[in-house]
Amino acid sequence: MEPLLKILSASVELFRQYGFKTITMDDIARRAGISKKTLYQHFANKSEVVSESVSWFQGNVTDSCLSIMNTAENAIEGMVKLMSMFDEVLSNMNPHSMLELERYYPDAFKVFKNNMLEKDIQCIKDNIVWGMEEGLYREGLNADFMARYRMEMSMLVLHPNLMVNNRNDMRYVMHEVSDHFLHGIMTPKGEKLYQKYKEKYLKQVSKI
């Protein structure tokens, strides 16, 4: 793996696990298995590392979302496989990471939020339209509004709040949010498929 990818991958691992505030350039170089000299050849400072690694990681997640939706049998399978993917994304994620990104690296957070508005919301919107056409989601849904609502709920889960606490981990809360959202838009036909795909793709996620 080339040095740049090592840096980005190592940075994402560290930021997800420990948050953004306490991680140093020394930590990043050590995790990437490179010298600090090599690290500084690619990035002038930690802010640059944060910006590039967040954009890189988000790009990978967005590409995965699009791939899942494009290869799904139907809209319900797409949403359930998306839930499964986020199980992996949220595993061992520090619940303070997003709050620290917003507080200490506002420019990087702004880019993250803008990318989410442009790409991720469109992905969910397309799924909702698809599901209505298939008769799996209720007719007459405002797809754009519901997609934005769904993403705002996801952002809420990524911040410390009354739901994510010492009793509930982020994956459990995201499951509950996703389950509630889908039950609010599915038809009886969609609910039957949902139960089928939940058994196939989703692991049991429990409270801590």
In a domain, 118, yes or no: yes
pLDDT at position 139 over 80: yes
Q: Which residues are registered as beta bridge partners of 186?
A: 137
**pTM of the model as a whole:** 0.87
In a domain, 190, yes or no: yes
Q: Residue 54's domain is classified under what CATH number?
A: 1.10.357.10
Confidence (pLDDT) at 165 = 61
CA–CA separation, 155 vs 165, rounded Å?
Answer: 16
Confidence (pLDDT) at 166 = 52
In a domain, 81, yes or no: yes
In a domain, 31, yes or no: no
Structure tokens at 157: 């889960």
In a domain, 79, yes or no: yes
In a domain, 21, yes or no: no
- pLDDT per position as a tens digit, 81-131: 999 998 888 877 887 898 899 999 999 999 998 888 888 899 999 999 999
In a domain, 23, yes or no: no
Q: How many domains does the chain have?
A: 1
Name 81's Cβ contacts closer than 8 Å, sequence gap at least 6: 68, 72, 197, 201
Confidence (pLDDT) at 119 = 86
- pLDDT per position as a tens digit, 37-73: 999 999 999 999 999 999 999 999 999 999 999 999 9
> In this prediction, what percent of the chain has a pLDDT beyond 90?
72
In a domain, 135, yes or no: yes
Are 104 and 21 in contact by the 8 Å Cβ rule? The answer is: yes
Residue 162 pLDDT level (bands cut at 50, 70, 90):
low
Counting Cα atoms < 13 Å in the Cβ hemisphere of 73 gives 9
Name 197's Cβ contacts closer than 8 Å, sequence gap at least 6: 76, 77, 80, 81
Domain carrying residue 95: 50-201
